[in-house]
Amino acid sequence: MTEMPLQSEPLAIPGRPFGRIVRSVLGYAAVTALMFLTPLLLVFMPAMLFHSGVRNGRRATWMALLLGIALAAVASHSAPTVAEMNMKYAYLAAEILCLAIPAMLVLPLVERSAPFGGVLMTAVVAALPGFAIAEIGSRLLFGFSLYGDQLKQYEEWGTGVLTMFQQRGATAETLIAVHRSLDIGKACVPTAGLTSVIVFFVLSIMMFGRLRAFREFIQTREASVTPGVYLFRNLSLPDWLLFAFLLGGAVPLATGLLQKVAGNVLAVVIFLYLLQGLAIFRALLAAVGISGMGLFFAFLMLGLLTFTGGIAPILLTIAGLFDSFFDFRKFRRKDDSNEGHTD
């Protein structure tokens, strides 16, 4: 009997050609630069980085990101004035530190299908120091304040709102109430950037989940091995967020800068629990089999109740808060995790 010779070296695993990977990296770099320069496209930057990481690997994705940053920096340098160029550099730095780098940091979690809420909160925590670094660095390097620019835009908008109420003949009591509301909003201007990052990551994680499921189906003609992980209705925030809620609840007891910090923390946490409340609402609709046009009309009615002074947002936020104690999504249909549902 003839013995087969032992394999002295590991078998080579067939992979994508090197030239194809290079072309892919260059393509992702060009798309990254376009997203940095186009605010409407920036919302899906995390999804693009996740997709690149899964397709080409983390090292190639870092290369694509660095090339994209270089291209965006060159394009920003062509601004007509020095002041506008400094502003573009400042916002580019904020986008890199608060969106792109956090996306790369949570990429390993996304690759192993970590829970939706855990990925989101890890990205949020990673983005927090980015805001501080971007603000301090912009002041030192470019003489431009991101916070000052956002505050100026808010004040201009607030002046327009007061003028509109005055032109419509609002009473003195109404004007005082509007003015107080604008003052509260002014104190929460720092949260605007963070809430935008939260929305961007929620949409990108959902989009990546759809893209990955579609790609797996094309390759294997079978359903995804991780069905429903990144559907919106499966968004469940970690329990430790309750401590941040308690910290923000100390607003009435604090004064000065500490009160502003606690107030902004509370605003962000309430926004997160509102999102979780919406996820619960979506899960309940899926549990009773509402989809398609029924889903559209359900959210339309919810929006009408919100904008007509209803208490729907308050109830949703309360539901999101108490979801840590009561699992409101226990009632599930057998096909609840089907990727065919629309979120």
Q: Which of 101-110, 168-177, 209-218, 334-343 has the lowest mean pLDDT?
A: 334-343
d(CA 108, CA 102): 11
So what's the pLDDT on residue 248? 76
| Residue in the structure block whose two tokens are 């990108």 | 204
**Mind giving me the DSSP string for 181-205?**
HHHHHHHTTHHHHHHHHHHHHHHHH
Say what angle helices 312-322 and 293-307 make with each other, to 10 degrees: 110
First-to-final CA distance of the chain: 62
| Residue 73 neighbours by CB distance under 10 Å | 16
**Helix 190-220, helix 146-167: angle, nearest 10:** 100
Res 96: pLDDT: 95
Using alpha carbons only, give the angle 272, 343, 192 rounded to the nearest 5 degrees: 30
| Euclidean distance between CA atoms 139 and 142, whole angstroms | 6
Mean pLDDT of the chain: 82
Candidates 102, 108, 116; CA nearest to 232 is: 116
Predicted local distance difference test score (pLDDT) of residue 272 = 94
Per-residue pLDDT reduced to its tens digit, 36-60 = 998 888 999 999 999 999 888 899 9
Residues 240-292 have pLDDT tens digits of 888 888 877 776 666 677 777 778 888 899 999 999 999 988 888 888 777 77
Distance CA 88, CA 94 (A): 10
Contacts of 308 (CB under 8 A, 6+ apart): none
Average pLDDT value for residue range 207-212: 84
pLDDT at 8 over 50: no
298-309 pLDDT, tens digit each = 777 777 777 766
Domain ranges of the chain: 24-144+189-230, 246-343
Segment holding 123, helix H or strand E: helix 116-142
